[in-house]
Amino acid sequence: MMTIPTTHPLLRALPHGLEDFARDVAARTSLESLRDLLATLPAHLLPLAGCATSQPNSHTRRVLLESPECVIELRGYLPGQRTMPHDHGPARCAFRVLAGIAIESRHERDAKCRVMEAACDRFLTGSVLACEPGLIHSIINEAFSSELLVTLHAFRPAPRMATYDLAPHDTKETRE
């Protein structure tokens, strides 16, 4: 089920040191350095996974820091939830899987400029993914999963997201 995120205020206290982490995110200028920062996330920030929430009708998005230079978000996905295919505009994005198994579906435009799935990979807890500006992708928590998928996203600069509808596969049935 594709969902549009619901933004929620934080209910639990955030781990100490988040402000220092936010300063580090704002100082990173390359995608590689942003990815490296999330890969070496301090152990005292790992409890952020417990601050994520879930909702049956949509994945959740909790903005931990928002400025023109960067955005840090915590996202929660129940089994079967997925984002719409989207890009982040000119922003570089790196995210870490804090809990669960994330599936990233990457998309490309075909010769008719339709958005089609091009690749799909699974990422375990602790994995860090990096997204170049313009990459179209979606994040999925498989329907048969038994746990909440929690991801920590860092964007530099703030994203201007666009969502996309997937084109139907070009088969005899879709042409009739």
The pLDDT value recorded for residue 32 is: 95
45-48: long-range contacts at Cβ-Cβ below 8 A with a sequence spacing of 24 or more? 45/15, 45/17, 45/18, 45/21, 46/98, 47/15, 48/14, 48/15, 48/18, 48/74, 48/98, 48/150, 48/152
Considering the domain boundaries, does residue 173 fall inside one? Answer: no
Q: Residue 161: give the domain boundaries.
A: 18-167
Considering the domain boundaries, does residue 111 fall inside one? Answer: yes
The pLDDT value recorded for residue 152 is: 96
Q: Please compute the mean of the pLDDT values over residues 137-150 and round it to a whole number.
A: 93
CATH code, domain with 39: 2.60.120.10
Considering the domain boundaries, does residue 13 fall inside one? Answer: no
Considering the domain boundaries, does residue 10 fall inside one? Answer: no
Q: Does 50 score more than 80 pLDDT?
A: yes
Q: Please compute the mean of the pLDDT values over residues 16-43 and round it to a whole number.
A: 89
Q: Does 135 score more than 90 pLDDT?
A: yes
Q: pTM (2 decimals)? A: 0.85
pLDDT digits (tens, 9 = 90+) for 95-130: 999 999 999 999 998 888 889 899 999 999 999 999
Over the chain, what is the mean pLDDT?
A: 86
Q: What total of structural domains would you count in the chain?
A: 1
Neighbouring-strand partners of residue 108: 116
Token pair listed for 77: 């996905």
Q: Does 5 score more than 60 pLDDT?
A: no
